[in-house]
């Protein structure tokens, strides 16, 4: 309990200090060596934290989504997923395997969160320099949600499939038929 409180206090203090400064530059893209392939295009991170999924909640709609976005110039899809996760949550993740591609063409990668966060640390306010439409960062079970709470409800099946795959026992790409 004390350790969790200390982590949360450190995170809050960091947010307060960052609120008085310019947004920090994006950290160097972190890709797991085993999955450093040449993918390009829109991408996002599926981040499993214990038995929950890290999601962003949008201020304008109150709906959930994963951190994702479009590439800059010739940026790799893995670096796009990394950068958008940083810009929307403030978390410097490591991008791992490609889990699948959504119907709208977003490559979904398994991403690892460092820093010792647990699902009990949420919900978390995003840093002040993040996308202003991000209301908060939450840890949810995607199987406990309905389609209408997601900003892209057609992606819920692939999000759930990716969530199951990232449990650790499996390391296969989501079958395109599950979309």
Q: What is the pLDDT of residue 15?
A: 53
Q: What is the pLDDT of residue 172?
A: 38
Please, which pLDDT band fits residue 158 given cuts at 50, 70 and 90? very high
pLDDT in tens, 103-156: 989 999 999 987 777 778 778 899 888 878 899 999 999 999 999 999 999 999
3-state secondary structure string, the chain?
CHHHHHHHHHHHHHHHHHCCCCCCCCCCCCECHHHCCCCECCEEEECEECCEEEEEEECCCCCEECCEECCCCCCEHHHHHHHHHHHHHCCCCEEEEEEEECCCCCEEEEEECCCCCCHHHCCECCCCCCCCCEEEEEEECHHHCCHHHECCHHHHHHHHHHHHHCCCCCCCCCCHHHC
Structural domains of the chain in order of their starting residue, each with its CATH number: 2-171 (3.90.79.10)
């Amino acid at each position: 309990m004390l350790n969790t409180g200390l982590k949360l206090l450190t995170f809050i203090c960091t947010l307060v200090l960052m609120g008085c400064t310019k947004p920090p530059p994006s950290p160097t893209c972190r890709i797991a060596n085993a999955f450093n392939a040449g993918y390009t295009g829109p991408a996002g991170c599926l981040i499993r934290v214990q038995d929950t999924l890290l999601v962003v909640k949008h201020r304008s709609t109150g709906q959930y989504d994963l951190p994702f976005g479009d590439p800059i110039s010739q940026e790799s899809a893995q670096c796009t997923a990394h950068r958008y996760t940083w810009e929307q949550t403030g978390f410097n993740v490591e991008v791992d395997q490609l889990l699948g591609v959504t119907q709208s063409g977003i490559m979904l990668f398994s991403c690892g969160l460092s820093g010792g966060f647990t699902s009990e640390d949420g919900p978390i306010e995003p840093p002040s320099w993040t996308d202003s439409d991000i209301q908060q960062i939450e840890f949810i079970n995607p199987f406990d949600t309905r389609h209408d709470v997601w900003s892209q409800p057609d992606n819920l099946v692939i999000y759930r499939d990716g969530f199951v795959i990232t449990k650790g026992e499996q390391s296969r790409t989501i079958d395109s038929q599950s979309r």
